Amino acid sequence: MSASLLRNLRAQARRRGWRVVKTGELVDIWGSDEVIPVISGGLPFVADWLAARMERQQSGPASLAAPEQWRPLLDCYRDELKAAHRTPQTIATRLSHVTTFARWVNVAPADVTRTHLIEYIGRPDRAATTAHGIRASLRDFYAFAIARDACPCDPASDLPAIRQARSRPRPCPDDVARIALTRATDKRVRLAVRVLIETGLRRAEMTRLRPADVIGSAGGWALHVSGKGGDERIVPISDELAGELRDLPSEFVFESARGGPVTPRHLGRLVGAVLPDAWTTHTLRHRFATQAYRATSDLRAVQELLGHSSPTTTAIYTAVADDAMRRAAAAAAL
């Protein structure tokens, strides 16, 4: 884990014109002045600091300026989303999709045609899941514009549905999860792996966790989880995990060097560094779903634990054991 984290740290530092020097357990990042280090500390601390700094300075579609002729309507759309109590993440995604399209199409909102939308959404380099999200954002935006007489017609009203290929669950094997726990010498990373294994939380949900979110009492501890879309749920946890979380002195369970929560992306990098091969935090979530379903055969219970709005989504996360499929097929034999 340390070697991989150090390689990533050096690569990130090089992109800023900095260099990394490791002496024993101490890691220094040096700038061009070579007078004092930019930052010093243990490897996880320095990696966390640099990742947080880079994330703050990253630009993306959401920060792009919209064309002048789109700005008044986009400002009203933002206010509408806020009034509807959409989550900050949903608002950012919607505005990012529409703004990026506006810069591409280079005509006024009222002059956009269905042909423009079809060409943009159907670009061959665009994944179906990405296209599906963009389609939803543009349909929502134009429904808003039509309701306020900002456009003469709705070019997005009859866009074709986007077929998304059925994805198969990819649960992380137990031996891989054990390897991750063994490799995680940093206490915080090991705790992150444990939380993923034992609760199946999303990365974003984990970054919002606070010690105060542990509720209940011995034999009945649980996590109060702030989930996707602002939904809340309760996830039972063991006494041991509850004790470890409650004893943390920080405001957030996974806190950055700045005092706030780490970003989901950075948390994923930390855990990914101790996972072998191409296994990710999300495959640990798939593992949790699969194990929970095998133990109970209760899809609704697993749905509630994962925070899914539909059991159809939960079914995608739960891998069916080979022996169960063989028994099902054998039952049909004459």
Q: Are residues 105 and 217 in the same domain?
A: no
Among residues 207, 202, 209, the alpha carbon closest in space to that of 289 is found at 202
With respect to residue 197, please indicate whether it lies within any of the assigned structural domains. yes
Residue 157 lies in a domain: no
Name the residues annotated as catalytic. 202, 228, 282, 285, 308, 317
At 179 the pLDDT is 94
Q: How far apart are CA 313 and CA 80, in angstroms?
A: 28
Is the Cβ–Cβ distance between 237 and 221 less than 8 Å? yes
Give yes or no: residues 43 and 120 share one domain. no
Sign of CA dihedral 56, 57, 62, 65: positive
Q: What is the pLDDT along the chain (334 residues), one digit of tens a residue?
A: 567 778 888 888 887 778 888 877 777 787 655 555 667 667 877 777 777 666 544 433 445 688 989 999 999 999 999 999 888 778 888 999 999 999 999 999 999 999 999 999 998 877 888 899 999 999 999 999 999 998 999 999 999 988 866 667 788 999 999 999 999 988 999 999 999 999 999 999 999 999 999 998 777 899 999 887 778 899 999 999 999 999 999 899 998 877 788 888 889 989 999 998 889 899 999 999 989 888 888 889 989 998 888 887 778 777 766 666 566 666 666 5
Q: Mind giving me the DSSP string for 226-240?
A: E-GGG-EEEEE--HH
Cβ–Cβ < 8 Å for 225, 213: yes
Q: Is residue 44 part of a domain?
A: yes
pTM given for the model: 0.61
In a domain, 153, yes or no: no
The total number of structural domains that make up the chain = 3
Q: Which domain holds residue 224?
A: 174-327
Q: Is 152 within a domain?
A: no
Does residue 279 share a domain with residue 192? Answer: yes
Sheet holding 214-215, edge to edge: 214-215, 222-226, 232-236
Asked if the structure places residue 127 within a domain, the reply is: yes
| CATH at 127 | 1.10.150.130
Residues 223 and 285 reside in one and the same domain: yes
Alpha-carbon gap, residue 126 to 132, rounded angstroms: 10
Question: CA 6 to CA 21: how far, in whole Å?
Answer: 10
* Residue 169 placed within a domain: no
* Domain CATH code at residue 237: 1.10.443.10
Other Cβ atoms within 10 Å of 217 Cβ, number: 9
User: Domain check: are 223 and 311 in the same one?
Assistant: yes
